[in-house]
Amino acid sequence: MPFSVSVVIPTYKGKALLARFLPSVVKALRTYTTATGAPVEILVVDDGSQDDTVDWLTATAFDFVRVLALPVNRGFAPTCNQGFAAARHDLIWLLNNDIEVMPDALFPLVEHFSTPTVFAVASRAQRLGSDAIDGAGRLGRCVRGYWKVFEGYDVFPDRMPPEAILPTFAASGGYSLFDAAKLRALGGFEELLAPFYWEDIELCYRAWKRGWEVRYEPRSLVFHQSSATIRSRFEARAIEVTSARNRLLMHWIHLHDARWWLAHLAMTGLLLLADVVTRRGYREAFRQAWACRQAALRRRREEQAHSRRTDREVAAIFAAVRQRPYVRTFRKPAEEMTLRTAWARVSGFRTGAADDEAAAGSSFRKGALTDDLGIE
């Protein structure tokens, strides 16, 4: 039997974005269900919008769409979790409301779930209106007691063996397909991290340590319009503090290796001392994380009991990926342009000149609070 698919789209005051991008999701599901006969649905979860988004969705009556309207705004993780609980099908395709999907984007993702250990698969995302990579594979390595997870990688498709599997440290919460049963077994996103940031990284690290796999599938193409919803609602400093807080909480819950844990404590102390001079907000981030310490330690004990992989075993997976001859990490515009050109040559993707900011941009954002000590 083909896998049935539920799409979950969290949204907040997103009528304009949904009007533009939801039709592409409907088309992709129609293409999939026509070809396979598998049931599909789209669940739009409105996070307490104080506009007419819900009324508009109800009146428009898109194919396959159900609407779940939450009474109050709670943030990304709780909103997604409500959608996960209401989803009816085998797989959950989690999409931002500003994602345009190609009609055949679902097929290569679904193929991976014939392997029982697969937890999630991420698409290849390009920035809408540009040739820049918005999201691809993601590498992870632990340095000085902190996971570095914002280094992207892509592949040269003409050099990659057809049977190659591409692990990714995290599948983006904006354009990835999840095994619904495994997702519910993990309890969905960690709501301790509300209202935003690090939710997808924490979830996928949890899955890796449970013994499951998270993969990247470059044949599945989506386009992302960066709508800056968070930046429009929160000040830049508050965003950085929240991101740094959630990074701390992820480590407090999941970093179990004794030596790496000691290194984490030492580096955290150095970051706190440095913040006395730099005043970049790390002490505030630590204060907020410390206020959640009891919940974090309770979650730490739970995850220690369920872990099937060590931190070092997870790191070894990505050290091996880094050595593959067809894998290239991207940080500089020239490196990313080379990868975009390679994909265009093989699959006909559009290429062209892009400004440096667009070419360098990706979803693998560096955090300003921790750059100075080399742990980003």
37: Cα separation from own chain's centroid: 29
User: Which domains, from first to last, does the chain contain?
Assistant: 5-232 (3.90.550.10), 235-307 (no CATH)
First-to-last alpha carbon distance for the chain, in angstroms, is 44
**Burial (Cβ within 10 Å: 0-12, 13-18, ≥19) of residue 333:** middle
C-alpha to C-alpha distance for 280 and 85, rounded to whole angstroms: 38
pLDDT for res 1: 82
- DSSP annotation string for 249-292: HHHHHH---HHHHHHHHHHHHHHHHHHHHH-SSHHHHHHHHHHT
pTM, whole model, 2 decimals?
Answer: 0.87
Determine contact, residues 170/200, Cβ cutoff 8 Å: yes
**Which tokens go with 62?**
């898109």
Averaged pLDDT in 10-residue chunks for the chain of 376 residues:
96 93 97 98 94 91 92 92 97 97 98 98 92 91 95 90 95 97 97 91 98 98 77 75 96 98 97 91 96 98 97 98 92 49 48 30 43 52
Q: What is the 3-state secondary structure (H, E, C) of 33-101?
A: HHHHCCCEEEEEEEECCCCCHHHHHHHHCCCCEEEEEECCCCCHHHHHHHHHHHCCCCEEEEECCCEEE
Q: In Å, what is the CA distance from 223 to each residue of 102, 212, 252? A: 8, 27, 34
The strand pairing partners of 118, in sequence order, are 213
Decide: helix, strand or coil at residue 28: helix
Q: Which two tokens stand for residue 334?
A: 């020239």
Phi-psi category of 216—alpha, beta or left, where left has phi over 0 and alpha has psi -120 to 50?
Answer: beta
Largest Cα separation within the chain, whole Å, is 62
Identify the three-state secondary structure at position 99: strand
